[in-house]
Chain A
Amino acid sequence: MKSVESSEPSTPLVSTDSLSSPLRRKRKKGVAGYAVVSGYFVLLILFGVAPAIYAITLAFTASGGHFTGLTNFIKTGEDFRFLPAFENVGKYLFIWLASLVVIVLGLALMLHSIARRVSAAFRFIFYLPGALAGAASVLVWLFMLDPTVSPWRLFLGIFGFKNLGQTILPGHLPLIFAIIAFWAGAGGWIVVTYGALNNIPNELIEAAQLDGAGAIQTALRIKLPLIKKWIVFMLILAFAAGTQLFVEPQLVGEASLGLISPTWSPNELAYYFAFQDNNFNYAAAISVDLLVIGLLCAAVLVFRTKLFEVE
């Protein structure tokens, strides 16, 4: 475990699997191995694999249980709420990921170039709103966006917003959700990026400075390329999580006097099919769509970047 304060590169992970141990020993070890992973294995099957398989089964069948091929996927895909929901989330993701690349990296680079004590304080402050992730962050931002009580009311006034209904117009929502996601989540990513920057050997940076590179040059030419993997890691995880948006539109919708569609995001649409229309097969089809997106993201991270230790 390395601390963010250390500037040492992380120790390489030890991998001393020996192939030469006697067969008998190996078999005995095998039993022990099964024993220690068994609890987790059961949970994995029950709450990871089984629901996914069950959802896939439902997605390919009708309510009577007979196989219907891709019908549910086609029907939900043609639904008038399907494309708008993905469009909404697409816009949100675009803003959120762009802000991660530009602002999070920018702030992390700035923090990396100032005194460590000061930067530690900033990092902690930036990370703090993470405690309000989820429903609490949405509530706080409903206050922030309501021009009648917001501490930013002057700012909102400049844009001509006089009441909450005007601030949370449907067209503004992707930006608003990106701001909420940024507020509650950017701090964590700043900490991670800062940690990655800390792992860059000092000699490299010093060498660049000796060659006459300025602060910005060093940041762009030396530091950023060296933490490229982390940037990809951050973007894929944020993308995967962002496609699942649910609590934000749900709560803002709750506070909008019904002005915001209850099927704003794909997950809300799946929820709507399951609970309003009692159509579990349609709900399962959208869940499988989202599951596939999540799996693809995971596959890219695991197979294309070599970020994760599997041996």
Chain B
Amino acid sequence: MRLFNRIWSRTASYIILLAFTAFFVVPVIWLLFAPFKTDHNLVFQNPFALGSLGNLFHAAHVMFTFEDYALLNWLKNSAIYSFGGIVIALICSIPAGYGLAHTQFIGRRTLLGVTLFVMIMPATALVLPLFLEANAVHAVGTPLAVILPFSFFPFGVYLAYIFYSSSVPKDLLAAARIDGCNEWDVFRRIALPLARPIIALVTFFAFVANWNNFFLPFVMLPNSTNYPLPIGLQDLLSATPAFNPGQGGQVPIYRPELAIATIVAMAPVMIVFLFAQRSLVSGLLAGATKE
């Protein structure tokens, strides 16, 4: 009886897990196959029918050459904003994490507390205030209006702080000081070289957050030549006859082309996911590791 129960519950578990696997995976598979078909195929064929390479080349050609290679331009913008934000975020957050963990100064606890607060608060909550601020200093429409807010990444500071306070013993730093290192050398020679794993982790999380960010560039960058990919996608969506026939009669972007644009938008993050699987999982847990 016990055995029967166990087999039964195990089978039920697997059935549920497989059902959810379908839920999570089918949309991705559909998306990857869509460009191989024509818009007409997508409507009238079996949704899982295979398409042809010819269709893929056609759709890719239409999508990439559309509006003077707008898609590539958006891709380039996304890369500039994301990496610009990451570089400044790293330069500021790694030393800050170290400082919070291993130095003493007045206001340290307050700074740590404020960091926690802004880290937990959703970034979206600050978007309109940031816009109002940028508008007051006439920075709206410039890439810096996106890059600089991106570079403020309190989660990165917190990750660095956790890393330094848990993985770098104070004794190690104290020993270096006794050996005659000044404070700057201690940071540069001891703490910084140890930071490699945390740099990767902060880069990963900042990259995913920046790359997929919609609201901030949406309000900051009114000019379509400045769009990053997510805003470009929305632009395509509002122009395509596939979803908005009322507005965009002349635009040659249909579902297969939209699928290609979506794939281009997600590919970098997907690639990072595949390669950084392990560190990413540990990072997800590191957000709150006090047990």
Contacts and interface: CB of A to CB of B under 8 A. Distances in A.
Nearest to B197: A1
Chain A CB within 10 A, most for which of B109, B112, B124, B135:
B124
B30 A287 contact: no
B120 A40 contact: no
B289 interface: yes
Contacts of A42: 92
Interface in B157-209: 157, 161-163, 165-167, 169-171, 183-184, 187, 197, 201, 208
Interface stretch (A75-83, A88-96, A240-248): A240-248
Interface residues of A, number: 128
Interface string A187-201: 110011001100100
B118 interface: yes
Interface string B29-73: 011001000000011000110000000000000000000000000
A191 B270 CA distance: 17
Nearest to A187: B24
B165 A13 contact: yes
Given A107-B17, A192-B284, A140 B262 contact: yes
A1 B200 CA distance: 13
Interface in A277-291: 280, 283-284, 286-287, 290-291
Interface of B: 5-6, 9-10, 13-14, 16-17, 20-21, 23-28, 30-31, 34, 42-43, 47-48, 88, 91-93, 95-96, 98-100, 103-106, 108-109, 111-122, 124-133, 135-136, 148-149, 151-152, 154, 157, 161-163, 165-167, 169-171, 183-184, 187, 197, 201, 208, 212-215, 218-219, 229-231, 233-234, 237-238, 243-246, 255, 258-259, 262, 265-266, 269-270, 273, 277-278, 281-291
Main secondary structure of the interface of B (DSSP, over half): helix
A4 to B, nearest CB: 4
B27 A144 contact: yes
B16 to A, nearest CB: 7
B213 A310 contact: no
A63 interface: no
B169 to A, nearest CB: 6
A123 B24 CA distance: 11
17 contacts: A40-B95, A44-B115, A55-B132, A129-B28, A134-B230, A140-B30, A143-B34, A149-B255, A191-B281, A195-B284, A257-B246, A274-B128, A284-B129, A301-B120, A302-B117, A302-B120, A309-B162
A136 B265 contact: yes
Interface of A: 1-4, 9-11, 13-18, 26, 28-37, 39-44, 46-52, 54-55, 58, 103, 106-107, 110-111, 113-114, 122-136, 139-144, 148-153, 164, 183, 187-188, 191-192, 195-196, 199, 214-216, 230, 233, 236-237, 240-241, 243-244, 246-247, 250-251, 254-255, 257-258, 267, 270-271, 274-275, 280, 283-284, 286-287, 290-291, 293-295, 297-299, 301-302, 306-311
A10 B289 contact: yes
A166 B163 CA distance: 50
User: Which applies to chain A's interface (DSSP): helix, strand, loop or mixed?
Assistant: helix
Given A40-B92, A254-B244, A134 B106 contact: no
Given A10-B291, A44-B152, A183 B24 contact: yes
A141 B27 contact: yes
A246 B113 contact: no
A4 B96 CA distance: 27
A36 B103 contact: yes
Given A306-B290, A309-B289, A48 B212 contact: no
A110 B15 CA distance: 11
Contacts of B290: 13, 306-309
Contacts of A183: 23-24, 27
B17 A110 contact: yes
Contact of B120 (A216, A271, A297, A306): A297
A172 B202 CA distance: 37
Contacts of B103: 29-30, 32-33, 36
Given A55-B129, A274-B131, 16 more contacts: A1-B286, A32-B183, A35-B99, A35-B184, A41-B111, A43-B151, A107-B20, A114-B17, A128-B28, A132-B28, A150-B47, A244-B124, A247-B215, A302-B120, A306-B290, A309-B289
